[in-house]
Amino acid sequence: MVEWPGTCRHVEGMRRLDQLNFSNSYARLPEPFHTRLQPTPLEGTRLLSFNPAAAELLDLDPLEALRPEFTSWLSGQDPLPGSEPLAALYAGHQFGHYVPQLGDGRAILLGEVQNRRGERWEVQLKGAGVTPYSRRGDGRAVLRSTIREYLCSEAMHGLGIPTTRALCLFGSEEEVGREELETGALLVRLAPSHVRFGSFEVFYYRRQFDHLRRLADYVIAHHYPELRDEANPYLELFRAVTLRTARLIAHWQSVGFAHGVMNTDNMSILGLTLDYGPYAFLDDFEPGLVCNHSDYQGRYAFDRQPDIAHWNLSCLGQALLPLLGEPVEAAAEQANAVLGEYAPAFHAHYQERMQRKLGLRAPRPGDDLLLQDLLQLLAANRVDYSNFFRALGEFDSAPGARNAVLRDLFPDRPAFAHWAADYRSRLAADQGEDAARRAAMARVNPKYVLRNYLAQQAISRAQQGDTSEIERLLRLLQAPFDEHPGDEAYTAPPPDWGRRLAISCSS
């Protein structure tokens, strides 16, 4: 019996695990879309953490986490009533090169649950054993990477960033070989859909255009129903994905999130953050940060993400071409026009987010320069990105105010003083009150982000059997804009050992 203090209370109207409202539409798609199979259970599976906030998405009673069946059904030991497990097919461009077959090599989709609000949530096990798409992999995930995904997906949600969610995490007694021997684990994650750009690419490159159309129709019917009656629904689908992606990446850039492996198989058709691997939140503002230790060329550096998303969207546009009508030149022209909407949409979202982070009320000419100057200053002085913006809320705009706390973040004080003078004049133009600005800024500048070293501390403890750090981080990161008195230590920049943790793809 496992207990999470305060989290596992019965909630009225919520369901038992064996009474979830499964309606498995992806399983209804024909054979090449997926392979049906049962998960391979891990030895000695044990529930390590459970997230009631995600359980609510399934109408699942949190008290269910205490039943032994919770573990046996959700870790793949016994079939969960109502589920129809499958591994999905997809392909994708990895590091710029097309790989004709990827697919769920270690993930198994149990099915989709429809909640009482009418939303559908796919329930997927990550680390559930080999599938026909495993290639040379072992079908497993390790405790380290599972904790990282579990915490980060909830942290992103706490920041208001579209993402897959995490229901729970299981540990095991099974050893899994990576760069060294690690413990096998299993994540149960949720998303309205796990369809990726690569799900389309596989049928395009196989020239299976009927399947391509079927997939596009499926995605539109289930996830973009408002596009059904458009004159060219497939072009509109491409536009919708383009715009959602622009919004997503702008959000990432504004919080300083580096994904680390933006291959097209990790790009969600719904504009969600998907597949957390070697990601990082910036500590010091280092625009060129490459957080993926296997990314030798720096393809997925933090500051390249906006361009990479554009490149990935061009791959999706290419894959959708056969659906966009004849002649192909006209279809390509239309797709390119849509692709052309990406950059302006990205910039508009990014500017808006950064304007709010700076506490500026309405845009004014010169704001862009103020921001660029600041980012350069942060980079040159290696200032902690999240802590700077949080502290900027406290900026005293009175003439002559020293703003010592902020100033002391910068080794080059005169350079900061220069920028602060510009900022003060800009705030004066807004004619707002400091108190109102401070409150608004605290709602957009998180106090708590999932720094790699914090995740690493939770991992090290969990590897020794103590999961309390996971629970604590989850609580802080689900409400990252709140103060959480007593937990200020979790805002600290990394200690030396935690500055440059090497995280590779293999996890």
What does the binding site for Mg ion look like in residue numbers (CB under 5 A)? 266, 275
CB nearer to ligand AMP: pick between 104 and 201 = 104
What does 19 interact with, of Mg ion, ligand AMP, none (CB < 5 to 8 A by kind)? none
What does 100 interact with, of ligand AMP, Mg ion, none (CB < 5 to 8 A by kind)? none
Binding segment toward ligand AMP, per CB under 6 A, in 129-137, 156-164, 189-197, 224-232? 129-137
| 139 Ramachandran zone, left/alpha/beta (phi>0; psi -120 to 50) | left
139 binds ligand AMP (CB under 6 A): yes
Q: Which residue is nearest to Mg ion (CB)?
A: 275
8 Å CB contact between 79 and 38: yes
To the nearest whole angstrom, how small is the minimum distance from the Cβ of residue 324 to Mg ion?
27
Binding segment toward ligand AMP, per CB under 6 A, in 100-108, 205-213, 284-292, 477-485? 100-108
275 binds ligand AMP (CB under 6 A): yes
140 binds ligand AMP (CB under 6 A): yes
292 binds ligand AMP (CB under 6 A): no
106 binds ligand AMP (CB under 6 A): yes
CB nearer to ligand AMP: pick between 172 and 266 = 266
What does 286 interact with, of Mg ion, ligand AMP, none (CB < 5 to 8 A by kind)? none
To the nearest whole angstrom, how small is the minimum distance from the Cβ of residue 111 to Mg ion?
20
8 Å CB contact between 63 and 10: yes
To the nearest whole angstrom, how small is the minimum distance from the Cβ of residue 149 to ligand AMP?
10
To the nearest whole angstrom, how small is the minimum distance from the Cβ of residue 193 to Mg ion?
14
The DSSP result for 140-180, as a single string, is: -EEHHHHHHHHHHHHHHHHTT--B-EEEEEEEEEEEEESSS
Among 61, 104, 265, 295, the active-site one is 265
What does 174 interact with, of ligand AMP, Mg ion, none (CB < 5 to 8 A by kind)? none
Query: 165-177 and 46-50: which strand pairing?
Result: antiparallel
Question: Of 412, 369, 375, 411, whose CA–CA distance to 392 is shortest?
Answer: 375
| Helices and strands in the chain: count of H runs, count of E runs | 17, 12
104 binds ligand AMP (CB under 6 A): yes
102 binds ligand AMP (CB under 6 A): yes
417 to 164, 286, 366, 424, 441: CA distances (angstroms): 42, 21, 18, 10, 21
CB nearer to Mg ion: pick between 261 and 441 = 261
CB nearer to ligand AMP: pick between 43 and 229 = 43
Among 76, 277, 317, 322, binds ligand AMP (CB under 6 A): 277
Whether 265 is catalytic is yes
To the nearest whole angstrom, how small is the minimum distance from the Cβ of residue 73 to ligand AMP?
23
To the nearest whole angstrom, how small is the minimum distance from the Cβ of residue 274 to Mg ion?
7
Question: Of 121, 126, 130, 124, whose CA–CA distance to 109 is shortest?
Answer: 124
Cis upstream peptide for 365 (omega within 30°): no
SS3 (DSSP) at 439: helix
- Distance of alpha carbon 265 from alpha carbon 102, whole angstroms: 8
107 to 189, 281, 407: CA distances (angstroms): 10, 25, 48
89 binds ligand AMP (CB under 6 A): no
The residue written with tokens 């059997």 in the block is: 465
Number of neighbouring beta carbons within 10 Å of residue 414: 9
Binding segment toward ligand AMP, per CB under 6 A, in 18-26, 260-268, 332-340, 390-398? 260-268
Among 161, 166, 185, 261, binds ligand AMP (CB under 6 A): 261
What does 149 interact with, of ligand AMP, Mg ion, none (CB < 5 to 8 A by kind)? none
The residue written with tokens 């350069």 in the block is: 376
- Distance of alpha carbon 29 from alpha carbon 222, whole angstroms: 13
**Run of H or E residues at 189:** strand 181-191
Write a three-state SS string for 297-308.
CCCCCHHHHHHH
**Run of H or E residues at 445:** none
To the nearest whole angstrom, how small is the minimum distance from the Cβ of residue 46 to ligand AMP?
20
105 binds ligand AMP (CB under 6 A): yes
Catalytic amino acids? 265
Give me the residues that bind ligand AMP (CB under 6 A), please: 102-106, 133-134, 137-140, 261, 265-266, 275, 277, 505
